[in-house]
Amino acid sequence: MNIDMKTKETFVKNLLNWYSKNKRDFSWRNKTNPFHILVAEIMLQKTDAKKVSEVYDKFIERHPTPQDLASAELSELKKELAILGIHKRAERMKKLAEKIILEYGGEVPSEKEELLKLPGVGEYISNAVLCFAFGENVPIVDTNVIRLIERVFGVKSSKSRPRTDRKIWEFAAELVPKGKCREYNQALLDFAASVCTSKNPLSGICPEKMICCFAKEKSA
């Protein structure tokens, strides 16, 4: 994916500028405790952030450590997470906490290969933990982020499941501004969810419209 550096830098600058005025404030965004970040990311899987915000603070208050979560009754966890749907999530959370205690001395590991061994943790969640908890300059790529990248830069994944496309991940990694990974990745998520939406993107008011391939094609 051969995109010039200036376009990439402009994209990042516009995005961070937009984010400084439009940031969505969720409590997990102010945390760097790896376990609390991990819990948030598991909750956020296929779930609207506003819904997660209804249960997250209370859940963390009740189960602030892997030990607290592992010793909780599964039936209680299911009740606490019921609003999020996907009942298996309570079970997965408990197993996750047990594994962290048994194999990592109660601390969430900070190495990618170890994070990937945790139940329910894949490429996205492992990078989210590395970025939001440990401050590593790594990308996070979900369906919304892929849509945004494809539109702005005119790239297209050839994979039937673009989320697994190494080329997209590598390109996304090139965009991450060093030392600003937290705000950049949060900005990407918010921007893709509220401006560059799947249907009817708000191109008319979009700060990226001057460099966006999709917008240029539409107005040609």
The residue to which tokens 């969430």 are assigned: 108
Of 83-91, 132-140, 156-164, 211-219, which part binds ligand SF4 (CB under 6 A)?
211-219
Phi-psi region of 26 (alpha: psi -120 to 50; beta: other; left: phi over 0): beta
3 sits near ligand SF4 (criterion: CB under 6 A): no
60 sits near ligand SF4 (criterion: CB under 6 A): no
145 sits near ligand SF4 (criterion: CB under 6 A): no
Alpha-helical segments (H) within 23-142? 34-44, 49-62, 66-70, 74-81, 88-104, 112-115, 123-132
Applying CB under 6 A, among 59, 109, 151, 165 the residue interacting with ligand SF4 is 151
We find the least distance from the C-beta atom of residue 18 to ligand SF4, in angstroms, to be 10
Residue of 95, 19, 93 lying closest to 56 (CA atoms): 93
Of 67-75, 81-89, 104-112, 200-208, which part binds ligand SF4 (CB under 6 A)?
200-208
| Alpha carbon distance 106, 65 (integer Å) | 8
User: Which of helix, strand or coil describes residue 202?
Assistant: coil
| Alpha carbon distance 174, 8 (integer Å) | 8
Of 86-94, 100-108, 123-131, 195-203, which part binds ligand SF4 (CB under 6 A)?
195-203
Identify residue 147 by its one-letter amino acid code.
R
153 sits near ligand SF4 (criterion: CB under 6 A): no
Applying CB under 6 A, among 152, 168, 176, 188 the residue interacting with ligand SF4 is 152
Applying CB under 6 A, among 82, 83, 86, 202 the residue interacting with ligand SF4 is 202
We find the least distance from the C-beta atom of residue 214 to ligand SF4, in angstroms, to be 4
206 sits near ligand SF4 (criterion: CB under 6 A): yes
Length of the chain: 220
The residue to which tokens 């309570």 are assigned: 90
Of 36-44, 50-58, 70-78, 202-210, which part binds ligand SF4 (CB under 6 A)?
202-210
Applying CB under 6 A, among 57, 195, 198, 217 the residue interacting with ligand SF4 is 195
Query: Cβ–Cβ contacts within 10 Å for residue 111, how many?
Result: 11
| Alpha carbon distance 164, 141 (integer Å) | 9
Which residues of the chain form contacts with ligand SF4 (CB under 6 A)?
148, 151-152, 195-196, 201-203, 206, 208-209, 212, 214-215
